[in-house]
Amino acid sequence: MQVTHKDKTELTITLNETFDYKCVRQFRESYEQADKQLCKIINISFTNTKYMDSSALGMLLNLDKTANVIGAKVILINTDEKIQKILRIARFEKKFTIQ
């Protein structure tokens, strides 16, 4: 996972090829880097992601709870058709902006 910051107001986490239960600790540590007073957008980039399991959905929900506490918006970006289908089945378009 790669984490990049933009002016402390925007955090982007680029996921690895596989986003599953093995990523829990690393994913949590990645979004905990957000400046809790300045961060307004947390982008989760699926550019490299080819596989995700149900635990990945849970991790995204936990991120959303954290983002709500600090007043940040979570945006799921660079999703391919396969990832979009999984997110639609889980009805994540109601909770997240998906691009």
Q: What pLDDT is stored for residue 8 in this prediction? A: 85
DSSP H or E run through 84: helix 81-89
Predicted local confidence at residue 35, as pLDDT: 85
- 33: amino acid identity, one letter: Q
Q: Which fold has domain 2-98?
A: Transcription Regulator spoIIAA (3.30.750)
Which spans in 13-99 are helix H?
A: 24-31, 54-70, 81-89
Look at residue 9 in the predicted model and tell me its pLDDT.
92
Across the chain, which has 99 residues, the per-10-residue mean pLDDT values are: 85 96 95 89 96 96 94 96 94 93
Domain regions of the chain by residue span: 2-98
pLDDT at 81: 93
Q: Among 50, 44, 49, 52, which residue's Cα sits nearest to residue 77? A: 44
Q: What is the pLDDT of residue 49?
A: 96
Which pLDDT score, from 0 to 100, does residue 37 have?
A: 87
| Predicted TM-score of the model (pTM) | 0.92
